[in-house]
Amino acid sequence: MNEPFNKVLIALWADLSQPEILWQVGTLVLCLLVALQVSQWIRIMPQVEASGVWKLGYGGLKRILFPLLALVLVLIGRALLRHWQHVNLLHVAVPLLGSLALIRVLFYALRHVFPPGGMLAPFERAIALLVWGGVALHMLGVLPDVVAFLEAVNFNIGKQRISLWLVLQALFWVLLTLLAALWGGSAVEARLMRAETLHSSLRAVLSRLTRAVLLLLAVLIVLPVLGIDLTVLSVFGGALGVGLGFGLQKVASNYISGFIILLERSIRLGDHIIANNFFGEVKGITTRHVILRGGDGREAMIPNDSLITSTVVSHTHSDKRIRLGVQVQISYDSDVERAIAVLVDVAAAHPRVIAHPPPNAFIINLGENGVELELGFWIEDPEHGNLNVRSDISRAILAAFRREAISIPFPQREIRHRNADIP
């Protein structure tokens, strides 16, 4: 055990039997309450507009404000109280508060490495508590006794002796290497995303490959540390191949298809496609599926392998211009040539209809109730929707037909009475 802290703990144990210990407890509680109240006041203050390093520093200061302020107040209280009595409890509190401030700074930095809502957030409190507890035990000199106790709790698996301390070490090294791999992957991804000379699809492929390689390296590094022979990976690889051939076939197919889509750039972010009878804009391309967002707000997650093996209709792959049509019927008594001219003029007047190719109208059928016409026109901004364009032009057609006295016929039926004398 650490000799200086050993003496502090022995002295603290002696102080616990003295009534003067209440002064130390009261001082410590008062310092913690004041630090907590001040940190809460700072948190509810208006946010300071900052970016880059200044934003990181300001956020880190708010993060460590409570333990740092408590540490300063405890130091002041210890300096004042030591003139009248022992302050061994405050001697113990100082390194604990200092280690808490360091742990909070560490996890605040990790928050900026990992994306919001990632894997770190749910376990942050538990990991911080474990790390702080280990640091506190080390600083107090109690850690060797705890390690000895954990070593005593052991069991055998074949010829391998497994202790609780070995299990905790394994978890620590696995967590450390995975965090390092994820941090490196995030750093590379951020740098790739800023490379404007690379296509967005290529940047996504490189970032995902980098993260996968780093995770694989992390596993290969941590296995020897844990005493696991890498030759067992050959057996594991065979088992994994069988698993991929059966249970994970679809997962592997989607994963590989995702990389093919990104490399070929056949489907890109912002494209408007029809897949699995769903029309929408491509909002995301992951290793498992493509996310389509329809005009009504619904989102469909289309598996990547279905996009590779089935027909995908793209409205914006090589050219964003798409043709829309509006069908209308006029009576046989109306002027067809005038109606066609009105349709073309209405489409040309709409701001989203482009001039080249120009809008045109055709007779598509001589129906039983009237002449069926279709107005065709082109737009170059399908990301803004096409239902609104058809609606605007249909309303304008209705108003123009009324001005020009062009009638839209009702269904006509001819009824004959073969036996007119029968009541």
State percent of the chain over pLDDT 90. Answer: 14
Least confident segment among 79-88, 139-148, 291-300 = 139-148
Tokens of 91: 């001697």
pLDDT digits (tens, 9 = 90+) for 307-336: 888 888 887 777 778 888 999 999 998 999
State percent of the chain over pLDDT 70. Answer: 67
Residues 6 or more apart in contact with residue 21 via CB below 8 angstroms: 15, 89
Topology at the third CATH level for domain 264-314: SH3 type barrels. (2.30.30)
Q: Cα separation of 256 and 244, whole Å?
A: 12
> How confident is the model at residue 63, as a pLDDT?
66
Task: Grade residue 51 by pLDDT with cuts at 50, 70 and 90.
Answer: very low
Q: What is the mean pLDDT of residues 284-308?
A: 84
> How confident is the model at residue 338, as a pLDDT?
93
| CATH, range 167-255 | 1.10.287
- HSE at residue 420, side-chain half, CA atoms within 13 A, is 3
Q: What is the mean pLDDT of residues 260-276?
A: 80
Answer whether 0.75 is exceeded by the pTM. Answer: no
Domain with CATH 3.30.70.100 in the chain: 322-403
pLDDT digits (tens, 9 = 90+) for 221-235: 776 766 655 565 565
For residue 357, say if its preceding peptide bond is cis, omega within 30 degrees of 0: yes
pLDDT digits (tens, 9 = 90+) for 399-423: 999 999 899 888 766 777 666 555 5
Q: Cα separation of 170 and 176, whole Å?
A: 10
pLDDT digits (tens, 9 = 90+) for 164-215: 777 777 777 777 777 777 767 777 777 766 666 666 656 666 777 777 777 7
Topology at the third CATH level for domain 322-403: Alpha-Beta Plaits (3.30.70)
